Amino acid sequence: MNQEQWTAVDRYFTDLFVPPDSALDAALEGSSAAGLPPIHVAPNQGKLLLLLAQVQQARNILEIGTLGGYSTIWLARSLPAGGRLITLEADPKHAEVARANIARAGLAEVVEVRLGSARDTLPQLAAESRGPFDLIFIDADKARYPEYFEWALKLSRRGSLIVADNVVRKGAVADVSSVDPNVQGVRRMNERVAAETRVSATAIQTVGSKGYDGFLIMRVHADPSAPAVGRPAGCTLKMEVAADGMRVTLRYFGHVTAVDMRAHLGDFSTLSPKISPGFSVLVDMSSLESMDNDCLPIMSRIMDTIDRLGVGRIVRVIPNHRVDIGLNILSRFHYRPEVPIHTCETLAEAIALLG
């Protein structure tokens, strides 16, 4: 496989799914005539952004890195009446060309091109309370991607989508020893995202007219204003026993499998001597996304163990958006009636309740 073939296949799909469009074509021509570098997304990637924004039913979109406004036009076209898009650009010439392209596309009323380094304009947006944004597209200087991710998270809500472009970098992203600041920026962001319990992410590699690269796609699934809970590397479960043995905390992150759940059961055998009868259990599902069905029998054994150890009270955190999983799992277990069970929406509420 080679670039020629990737370009031919890109053309095939673009001919089928991305019909010629005078405003988008004019934006590319205008940018090229003004001497802007051809580092915009490919047409079929622009269409992907449009579809993502539509699926997301985005009304408020933020873009970091405008160039000539090509991806901006794609994204802005997804907006319903009353929707808004803010795009951040550091280079005055790029911003000027983008404004002209966006106006030609009939989107000047919907799009604000904000000139300045995103390092300054992102804090400005936060100070102006311009968020939360439903979709954030990160496509500026890659070395600063970790910072842009932090701001994207701050400017999000539960359910926001964050997309970062150019995260594969011809495969260099997998090279631990790379000294390229762009690769290092992307790697640091990826590691940060992997450890962030409020975000669920995956990356897709792409080949096409733009060569070999890819997108990182992230969904914010917990309230970003809530404190992050430390997630142990590579784990979806965490069990802690308080020093006095009076509280056991069980936390679930992301997608939990039966293998993880069995390890959890093993934790109980190791930690049970430290647990004092009458203890409280805090079951924190605020960062849980999904659980395999074959976890349920193991979960049942965990609950029996908790009961046998003399549990005094159970407090569970099941946020509204996870009520389906949380209640499905927990309703299957019958505790002794004398054991009170409280259900909270947030971890802060549960901690306050436990005192």
Ligand X SMILES: C[S@@+](CC[C@H](N)C(=O)[O-])C[C@H]1O[C@@H](n2cnc3c(N)ncnc32)[C@H](O)[C@@H]1O
Contact positions toward ligand X, by CB under 6 A?
39-41, 65-67, 70-71, 88-91, 94, 117-119, 139-141
Could you give the C-alpha distances from 278 to 265, 300, 309, in angstroms and in order? 20, 20, 8
Minimum gap (Å) between residue 140 Cβ and ligand X: 4
Cβ-based nearer residue to ligand X, 67 or 306 = 67
Q: Two tokens at 220? A: 């914010």
Minimum gap (Å) between residue 28 Cβ and ligand X: 9
Q: Two tokens at 30? A: 């205008």
Minimum gap (Å) between residue 75 Cβ and ligand X: 9
Cβ-based nearer residue to ligand X, 140 or 298 = 140
Could you give the C-alpha distances from 120 to 27, 88, 115, 213, in angstroms and in order? 27, 10, 10, 28
Other beta carbons within 10 angstroms of residue 340's beta carbon come to 11
Backbone angles phi, psi at 278, to 5 degrees: 90, 5
Cβ-based nearer residue to ligand X, 121 or 236 = 121
Cβ-based nearer residue to ligand X, 14 or 66 = 66
Q: Two tokens at 216? A: 């990182």
Cβ-based nearer residue to ligand X, 69 or 131 = 69
Could you give the C-alpha distances from 174 to 1, 142, 168, 184, 188, in angstroms and in order? 20, 15, 8, 10, 12
Cβ-contact 31, 97 below 8 angstroms: yes
Minimum gap (Å) between residue 80 Cβ and ligand X: 22
Query: Which run of H or E residues covers position 335?
Result: none
Cβ-based nearer residue to ligand X, 185 or 254 = 185
Minimum gap (Å) between residue 345 Cβ and ligand X: 37
Residue type, 299: M
Minimum gap (Å) between residue 320 Cβ and ligand X: 34
Strand, coil or helix: 168: coil
Minimum gap (Å) between residue 90 Cβ and ligand X: 4
CA-angle at 142, arms to 173 and 37, nearest 5°: 110
Minimum gap (Å) between residue 114 Cβ and ligand X: 9
**No. of helices (H) and no. of strands (E), the chain:** 12, 12
Cβ-based nearer residue to ligand X, 152 or 282 = 152
Cβ-contact 118, 92 below 8 angstroms: no
Cβ-based nearer residue to ligand X, 41 or 193 = 41
Minimum gap (Å) between residue 66 Cβ and ligand X: 6
What distance, in Å, lies between the first and last C-alpha atoms of the chain? Answer: 61
Cβ-based nearer residue to ligand X, 145 or 279 = 145
Other beta carbons within 10 angstroms of residue 49's beta carbon come to 24
Which of these, 190, 146, 135, 191, lies nearest to 167 by C-alpha position?
Answer: 190
